[in-house]
Chain A
Amino acid sequence: MTLTDPQVASVGLSEQEARTKGIDLMVSKLPLSYVPRALAARETRGFIKLIADRRMNRLVGAHILGTEAGEMIQEPTLAITHGIKVDDLAAAFHPYLTLAEGIKLAAQTFTKDVKKLQGRSGLKTWIFSILTNRAKTRGRRDKRSVPFSVLSGLDPEDEPAVHRSRFTSSGGWAPPPERWDEDTPERLLLGSETRALIDHAIAELPAGQRAVITLRDIEGLDLAEICNILEISGTNQRVLLHRARAKIRSALEQHLHRP
């Protein structure tokens, strides 16, 4: 590691060295301007470059230029030493809004072309997909990011808030919902099993619903902010939120009242 500003930190092979060895390479280069923490700190000079052996699916080198490069290089160092698979690195839990998250994003960039995310809208999409995938990334593997186009689309076939079978033909409850104890949320969150159940229920939501419920109920953003970020109308947003919440409630109900 070299103490310059920004710092330079390297571990393993350089791209050149790896090529000389005849390794079939994958190279991922992620500018720090794509890392939310760096963006938020206004320290976007630099990049993370990861070099991997395609066949082995293992990291062989990492080169970081950035203000905290010395800190960030620790994880790739471990990954190289212990032969951790690139996929595992890309899927492992990294706290959101840390520079360490940059390593994960760089590992994911092996399969996504960050250069295609050019310009403002690309950057926005990128950060947005990170935001909206948070619910899913807790202990789960990223499958896809969320294209914006999905968000405005409302599925007219989507089911009602409460299944029709719960009502009589005149629209009254049958059977009615049970009363939940005052400490129900706290009790639900005590068990890792229940947490996993909620995470799963969120992960199963269509992209738009997942985005809105994550931003609104988990992150606590204003409705107006969410409209801005997702570029959807207030009405669409409320429909998405409504359906998402109804599904989570229903999942909790099934869990709480299982025989």
Chain B
Amino acid sequence: MLTCQELTELVTDYLENRMSFMDRLRFRVHIGMCRHCRAYLDQMRKTIRTLGELSAEPIPPAIRDELLARFRDWKR
């Protein structure tokens, strides 16, 4: 079984949905049984939420799309 220490290294892949079905299952089984890792996962989610609210000056979507389009152009 996955240890708590191993789980902490998998949290980003879990949150970003980059896990195989079986790994995801193992992760969820551990989380279901271990309240400490649930607390850790929850802390991580809150950390990300905090960062998301940090942007004092969010880029207006239109400008962001424009910049991204330009980044894509530069690839060619």
- A residues apposed to B, CB below 8 Å: 36-37, 39-40, 42, 95-97, 120-121, 123-124, 127, 135, 138, 160-162, 164, 167, 170-173, 176-180, 184-186, 188-189, 195, 198, 213, 217-221, 223, 225, 228-229, 234, 238, 241-242, 245-246, 248-249, 252-253
Contacts and interface: CB of A to CB of B under 8 A. Distances in A.
Nearest to B17: A223
B68 interface: yes
B70 A161 contact: no
Contacts, number: 129
A40 B69 CA distance: 10
Contacts of A220: 52, 55
Contact of A228 (B40, B48, B75): B75
21 contacts: A96-B57, A97-B57, A120-B74, A138-B56, A160-B5, A161-B8, A162-B5, A162-B8, A164-B5, A171-B4, A173-B4, A173-B40, A177-B43, A184-B50, A185-B49, A217-B51, A241-B16, A242-B13, A245-B47, A252-B47, A253-B43
Most A Cβ at <10 Å: residue of B9, B43, B47, B60: B47
A198 B54 CA distance: 9
- Secondary structure class of chain B's binding surface, majority of residues: helix
Contact of A189 (B3, B54, B63, B75): B54
Given A160-B8, A180-B43, A189-B54, A171 B3 contact: yes
Interface of B: 3-6, 8-9, 11-13, 16, 18, 36-37, 39-40, 42-44, 46-57, 59-60, 63-64, 66-68, 70-72, 74-75
B50 A189 contact: yes
A252 B50 contact: yes
B61 to A, nearest CB: 10
B12 A123 contact: no
A241 B17 CA distance: 14
- Secondary structure class of chain A's binding surface, majority of residues: helix
Contact of B60 (A97, A218, A246): A97
Contacts of B47: 245, 248-249, 252
A188 B48 CA distance: 12
Contacts of B39: 176-180
A127 B50 contact: no
A185 B46 contact: yes
Given A123-B74, A225-B68, A213 B57 contact: no
